[in-house]
Amino acid sequence: MPILPFEGVWPKIDPTAFIHPEAVVIGRVWVGPEASLWPGVVARGDVNEIRIGAGSNIQDATVLHVSRPTPRRPEGFPLILGDGVTVGHRVILHGCVVEAGCMIGMGSVVLDGVTVGREAMVGAAALVAPGKVIPPGAMWLGAPAQFKRDLTPEELQAHRDTTESYRQLARRHRASLAGIEGAFSDE
């Protein structure tokens, strides 16, 4: 699996995380315990850092990137994902903050300076414009994304269930690949 340094800085990946052999992880990327990155995921921490919280799952063909520091914004925009975040297939997350327990729907794009509050949902194919703040527990849909309504307790539980099912699935995949030479960087 391509786990590569950038300018001498290697990704830091918790030993309990699952990084699929066809994911690419470069530079200043931190992957927390029991997090998972699936086939085709690219996490490129070259001009800023990426942090992926415990138990978060980043599904197939997702791109994780950051924005470089500039004179107007000396810290740039890192990408920070809290614990237990589910990121659907083919998502682009760029220089944003996604707090714990969020669900980011398939094919959505979340841009620089966005904050997605705890346990909020960005619907499939949504486009969240730079700098937007999505309140905790809210559902945002559309392109451009807009507030739709607050999530129900049942929907919040369904998100938690999805996240847990991905933790279990990652363990099964890791066990399935355990005997394959070169499937993991620590072998």
Do the beta carbons of residue 95 and residue 79 sit within 8 Å?
yes
pLDDT at 180: 78
- 23, β-bridge pairs: none
CATH of domain 3-177: 2.160.10.10
CB-CB contact of 93 with 87 (8 Å):
yes
Contact 23, 3 (CB under 8 A): no
Question: The sheet that has 36-37: what strands, in order across it?
Answer: 18-19, 36-37, 57-58, 86-87, 103-104, 121-122, 138-141, 146-150
- Per-residue DSSP letter, 128: E
- Residues near 166 by Cβ (< 8 Å), separated by ≥ 6? 36, 57, 59, 86
The pTM for the full model equals 0.94
49/79 Cα distance (integer angstroms): 6
Cα–Cα distance between 68 and 37 in angstroms, integer? 23
Q: How far apart are the first and last CA of the chain?
A: 11
pLDDT for residue 178: 86
Residue-level pLDDT, tens digit, the chain, 187 residues: 699 999 999 999 999 999 999 999 999 999 999 999 999 999 999 999 999 999 999 999 999 999 999 999 999 999 999 999 999 999 999 999 999 999 999 999 999 999 999 999 999 999 999 999 999 999 999 999 999 999 999 999 999 999 999 999 999 999 999 877 656 544 4
Cα–Cα distance measured from residue 156 to residue 158, given in angstroms and rounded to the nearest whole number: 5
pLDDT given for residue 187 in this prediction: 44
Structure tokens at 73: 């914004």
